[in-house]
Structure 1
Amino acid sequence: MSLEQLKLSKPLVSAMSALGCLSPKEVQLKTMSRILGGQDVIAIGPEGSGKTTTYVLATLMRLKTGGGDAPRALILVPTKEKVLEVLAYFEKLNRNDTFRIVGIHADTPIDEQVEHLTDGVDIVVAIPSRARAIYLKLGLNTNKIQMMILDDASDLVKQGLQLPVNELARSIQKCQHLVFTEVMHEKLAYMIEDFMVMPATIEVDELLEAEVETYPQMVYHVPNFRTKLNLLNLLLKDTEVFDKVIVFVNTRLTAQTLSKDLFDGKAEDVFVYKPLFFDEAGFESLDAFKVNDKARVLIVANENFEEATLSGIPFVFHFELPEDRIRYINRVIKIEEVDLVSLNFITDLELPELRKIEQALGQRIEEAELPEDLLIEDYSKTTKKKSKHAKELERAKAEEEAFKNAAFQPKKDSNAKTTNYSSGEKAKMNKAKKHG
C-alpha cells in the first residue's frame, strides 16, 4: 500500500516519505477519506498507531493555505508536552510557509499568548483550560473555526478538563469534530455527546507481536474505587481459594486505608508491607509474610516495594495498576514454573494504561465477569455527577454571557423602546395623559 491511497497533496507525500513513512497506517486508511469529506470522526487506537499524524495531515489538507486572521483549526490536548509534540509534527510535515501555528499552554504568560493570537493564526494547539481562559479574555476568536480536534481524549477526561472542552465546543457555531483516543468509555462519551454530529467510530487494534510468555491474567472492569473495594472483599471471603494473596496499590497511604476498609478492619489475617505507623500490624519483608501461616493478605504499596520474586504467592491483585507499567510487566513475565495468577481491578480512567500494558505484552488480557452478588455503587453517583456537570456548564455559560455583556447596561422597562410612533401619534398620547 502506498501513501497515494490517502489522497494527500504531493508536498505532504514528499514530507511523509522524507520521514521514512512509505505506507499508510491502518488508522489513516480507515479515517482519512471521512475526515477530508467533513464527517465527524471518533478514532480509537493504541499508542503509536498513527493518530496524531492522521489529524495533522488531515488539517493541512482541509485548510489548504494559511494567512488567516483567526484560527480555523483548534486542537485540544491534555499537557504542555503534548502541545510541543503536536507542534513538532506540524513542523515536520508542513511545507507551506503561509500557515501560522500557535501553541498554548500554562507556562507562557497569557498576555503574550493573546498577542500571538491577535497577530493572526491558522491553527491553535492548546490545553483546554488555558484556551478557555484566553477565550474569556476575548483573545481567542472561535468564529471561523472549521475543525475542532481532541487528542488523547481519555486523558482530557482523566485530568478533569470536560468543562473547558465543552465550553469551547459550545462557542463554535458549526465545525467538524474529531476525537482521537486510546480507549472509549462512558465518561468520555458523555463529554463529547453534545457536540459530535453522527460521528463515524473507527477502531484499530495494532498489537505488537508477543515475545514473552506470561502468567495467567484477568481484568475486572469496575466503575469506581468503592466498587473495587466491594469486589476485593467479596473475593477474599473465599479463604480456601485465596489462601495467600498480595494486593498491590500505588501509595502507602492507600495501603493503610485499604487495610482499614477490608472486612471493616476486623480481619486478623490482613497485613501491610512496611506500614506507615510502627504500631500497625505488618511485615518488613516479603519472605517473612510467605512463611507466616497466620498471614493471608499482604497489602503492598508500589512506591516502597523493592521488586522480589513472587513465587509461593498463588494470587496477586493489582487493586491499582502501577504508575510505571514496567513494574506490572516484570511481575507477570513467566520466569519459573509456579502457580501465579494476576487479577487486575481497573476503572474507565485506568483503561489507557491497561491498553499500553497489553500493547507492550503483545496480548489482550481476558476480562472476567463481575460476580452477580457484587454491590456496584456507581449508578446514583453517576447521575449526581452528570447533574453536577450540567449545572457547572450552565453556570459557566451564564458567567461567559455576563462577561461579554458587562459593558452594556440594559434599559429600564420604562425607557425601553418597543414601538415606533409618529410625531402625531405621540402628541395625541401626551394629550390623553394630561386629560386622563
Structure 2
Amino acid sequence: MSFKDLQLNKPILRAVAEAGYDNPTLVQEQTIPLVLAKKDVVCTAQTGTGKTAAFALPIIQLLFDRQDAPKKGKKIKALVVSPTRELAVQIGENFKTYGSYSNLRSTVVFGGTSIEPQIDVLTKGVDILVATPGRLLDLHKQDIINLDYIEILVLDEADLMLDMGFIDDIKKIERLCPNDKQILLFSATMPFKVEQLANTILKTPQRVEVTPTSSAAKNVSQVLYYVPKRNKIELCLHLLRNTIKGSILIFRRTKFGVDKLEQTLVKNGYKVETIHGDKAQNLRHDALNKFKNGYVNILIATDVAARGIDINELDAVVNFDMPNVPETYVHRIGRTGRAESFGKSYSMCSEDEKSYVKLIEQLINVQIPVEHNHPYPLDPKAKPQIHKSKKTGSKHKKGRKSESSKKNKKRWY
C-alpha cells in the first residue's frame, strides 16, 4: 500500500515524499482511514511504529479545506495533548513537516519555559495546538486559549499521562472541548486505567492494535549480564571500552543515578549528556540536540524524560537499572532498531532485580540470552543485599541497671 491509497491530497503526499517516507506503516494504514471517516479511535501502538503521522496526516487533511481564515480569525480546531515537553516538541515538528504545503498554522506550548513567546504565537491565531496538560490549563485559565472550536482531540501516550498523575487534567480538558468532537486516544500499553478512560470519554471507538503490547522490538538483539550491584559501573565501563559502540542511550531509574553515572563516565573520558525531570527545559533540549547531532555519543536518561523521544540512528540501549515495570523494558529497547534498522540492547541485572527479569520474559515471551563471559559475574549463591540499620537500640538489657548505678548502690548483703 502507498500513501496515495489512503486518499490523502497532493500537498500532503508531496510533504510526506520529501520527508523520505514511501509507504505507510501498519498503524498508519489502519488508523488514517478511520480518522478521515471521523470515527473515535483507540490505538495501541508502541513508539517507533509511526503513530504520530497516523494522526497528524489525517488531521491536516480534515482541516485543509478551511485553512485560509485570516491569521487573527484562526480558531484552534485540533488539540494534541502530550505528557512530556520533548514529545510535544517532536509532535509539533511533525505537524510542521507534513503541513509544509498548507497554510495551517500549528504551535507547541509546554511548561518549564517562558510563557510570553507562547502567548504571542497563540494570540496571532493557530489551527493546531500541541500542548502538555499543565501549561494548557494555565493558558486556558488566563483566557489565552479558547477550546470552544475543537473538532479533534488527540490524547497521545495516554498510559504515561495517567502514570504521571494527569488523569484529572485530561478529564477537565476533555470537558472544556465541545461535546461533538472526535477523540483519538493513543497508548503504548492498555492498562485498566486507560481502558476506563477510553470507555468514559470516547463514543463507540474503533480499535487499532498494531503490535501486541508484549512484543519486544523485532529488530533488536538483546543480551543480559548478571552482575553484583556494586560492580555495575565497572561492567558498564568494560562494555563501553570493548563491546558497545556508536550512539548509546543508557537508562537509570533515578535522577540521582543519572548524575552519578554521568560523573563517572566523564572522569573516564567519555562525552556524555543527560536528561531527567529536574533539568531545566532548555538544558534538556540542548542535551538532546548535542546527542542527535553527534557532539556526544552517550545520553543517560530516566524513563519519563526519554519516553517518546525520537532519536534516529540509535545503535544501542543499555539498561543500567532493570525496570520494575515489564512494559517499560519494551519501551526502552524499542528506542533502537526503529524503522527497519537493527539495534542492540544490553541489560545489567543485580541479584535484587532477578524477579524483574522473570516478569519481562513472561511479557515478551522470549528468554533473554545471558552473557556469562565478563569480568564481574554474579555469585550464583549470592543473596540479595538487604541494608539493615546499624542502630540496634540501647546496649542495656531491659530491666537491668547500668554498671555505674550498680557500683553506687549499697547492698544490704
Q: Give the alignment's TM-score, normalised by structure 1.
A: 0.53
Name the CA shift for 1:284/1:148 in 2 (closer, same or farther; >3 Å).
closer
Shift, 1:158, TM fit:
2.6
The match for 2:42 is: 42
Pairwise mapping of residues 59-70 of structure 1 onto structure 2 (< 5 A)?
Answer: 59-64=59-64, 65-66=66-67, 67=69, 68-70=73-75
The match for 2:157 is: 152
Q: 1: CA distance between counterparts of 2:29 and 2:191?
A: 24
Name the CA shift for 1:359/1:301 in 2 (closer, same or farther; >3 Å).
closer
Q: Give the alignment's TM-score, normalised by structure 2.
A: 0.56
Give the aligned CA root-mean-square deviation in angstroms: 3.8
The match for 1:167 is: 172
- Would the aligned equivalents of 1:103 and 1:126 in 2 still touch at CA under 8 Å? yes
The match for 2:24 is: 24
Name the CA shift for 1:163/1:214 in 2 (closer, same or farther; >3 Å).
same
Shift, 1:154, TM fit:
2.2
Note if 1:197 corresponds to 2:193. no
Pairwise mapping of residues 29-428 of structure 1 onto structure 2 (< 5 A)?
Answer: 29-64=29-64, 65-66=66-67, 67=69, 68-174=73-179, 175-205=181-211, 208-210=217-219, 212=221, 214=223, 273=230, 303=257, 326-328=317-319, 346-347=324-325, 351-357=327-333, 360=336, 365-367=361-363
Deviation per residue, 1:305-357 (Å, 9 max, x gap):
899xxxxxxxxxxxxx98599333x89xxxxxxxxxxxx7744xx62443432
- Would the aligned equivalents of 2:110 and 2:135 in 1 still touch at CA under 8 Å? yes
Shift, 1:107, TM fit:
4.1
- Would the aligned equivalents of 2:80 and 2:129 in 1 still touch at CA under 8 Å? yes
Shift, 1:138, TM fit:
1.9
Shift, 1:367, TM fit:
3.4
User: Match of 1:105, as an amino acid?
Assistant: F
The match for 2:278 is: none
Percent of aligned pairs with the same amino acid:
22
Gaps (5+ residues) in structure 1? 217-244, 249-272, 275-282, 287-299, 308-320, 332-343, 370-436
Larger Rg belongs to? 1
Name the CA shift for 1:210/1:83 in 2 (closer, same or farther; >3 Å).
closer
Q: 2: CA distance between counterparts of 1:35 and 1:142?
A: 20
- Would the aligned equivalents of 1:75 and 1:148 in 2 still touch at CA under 8 Å? yes
Q: What SS does structure 1 have at the residue aligned with 2:154?
A: strand
Deviation per residue, 1:147-182 (Å, 9 max, x gap):
001122222223222222111101112201111222
- Would the aligned equivalents of 1:46 and 1:356 in 2 still touch at CA under 8 Å? no
User: Match of 2:155, as an amino acid?
Assistant: L
Q: What SS does structure 1 have at the residue aligned with 2:201?
A: coil
Deviation per residue, 1:359-397 (Å, 9 max, x gap):
75799833399xxxxxxxxxxxxxxxxxxxxxxxxxxxx
Shift, 1:118, TM fit:
3.1
Shift, 1:33, TM fit:
0.9
- Would the aligned equivalents of 2:216 and 2:330 in 1 still touch at CA under 8 Å? no
| Count of paired positions | 268
Q: What SS does structure 1 have at the residue aligned with 2:153?
A: strand
The match for 2:348 is: none
The match for 2:296 is: none
- Would the aligned equivalents of 1:47 and 1:356 in 2 still touch at CA under 8 Å? no
Gaps (5+ residues) in structure 2? 236-251, 266-300, 307-315, 337-342, 346-359, 366-413
Name the CA shift for 1:76/1:212 in 2 (closer, same or farther; >3 Å).
closer
Q: 2: CA distance between counterparts of 1:23 and 1:285?
A: 44
User: Match of 1:160, as an amino acid?
Assistant: G
Q: 2: CA distance between counterparts of 1:184 and 1:104?
A: 27
Deviation per residue, 1:106-147 (Å, 9 max, x gap):
244435434432332211111111101111222211111000
Q: 2: CA distance between counterparts of 1:247 and 1:146?
A: 54
Q: 2: CA distance between counterparts of 1:368 and 1:51?
A: 21
Name the CA shift for 1:165/1:212 in 2 (closer, same or farther; >3 Å).
closer
